[in-house]
Amino acid sequence: MYRFILNMSLQLLTISQAANLLGVSIQTLRRWDDSGGFPSTNRETAKHRHYIKSDIENYIKSRISSLSLLKIARNWVANSKGTEPLPDFYCPDISVFQARLTRLENELGNVKRLSRIFPLISAITGEIGNNSFDHNLGNWPDILGIFFAYDLAKGKIVLADRGQGILATLQKVKPELANHRDALRTAFTEIISGRAPEYRGNGLKFVKDVVIANEMSLFFSTGDAKLTIQKNGSSIDVQGSADDLHGCLALITF
Partner 1 sequence: MTIFLKKFGTTLNGRQFGRESFAAFGPSLRDVKDDEKIIVDFEGVVTFTPSWGDEFLGPLSHRFGERLVLKNTENPSVQATLKLLGSIYGTNFLSIF
Residues that bind partner 1 (CB under 8 A): 94, 98, 101-102, 105, 109, 116-117, 119-120, 122-123, 126-127, 130-131, 133-134, 191, 199-200, 202-203, 205-206, 209-210, 213
Handedness of CA 63, 29, 25, 49 (dihedral sign): negative
Handedness of CA 20, 23, 26, 30 (dihedral sign): negative
Residue number with CB closer to partner 1 (85 or 126): 126
Minimum gap (Å) between residue 148 Cβ and partner 1 = 13
Helices then strands, each counted (H, E), the chain: 10, 9
Minimum gap (Å) between residue 205 Cβ and partner 1 = 7
Residue number with CB closer to partner 1 (174 or 205): 205
Minimum gap (Å) between residue 1 Cβ and partner 1 = 48
Residue number with CB closer to partner 1 (1 or 191): 191
The whole-angstrom distance between residue 211's C-alpha and the CA centroid of its chain comes to: 20
Gap between the Cα atoms of 73 and 159, Å rounded: 7
DSSP type of residue 112: G
- Residues 6+ positions from 78 with CB-CB distance below 8 Å: 243, 244, 245, 246
Neighbouring CB atoms inside 10 A of 26's CB total: 14
Residue number with CB closer to partner 1 (8 or 191): 191
Residue number with CB closer to partner 1 (134 or 224): 134
Minimum gap (Å) between residue 97 Cβ and partner 1 = 8
Minimum gap (Å) between residue 109 Cβ and partner 1 = 7
DSSP 118-171: HHHHHHHHHHHHHHHHHHHTTT-SSS-SEEEEEETTTTEEEEEE-SSHHHHHHH
Residue number with CB closer to partner 1 (32 or 206): 206
Minimum gap (Å) between residue 213 Cβ and partner 1 = 8
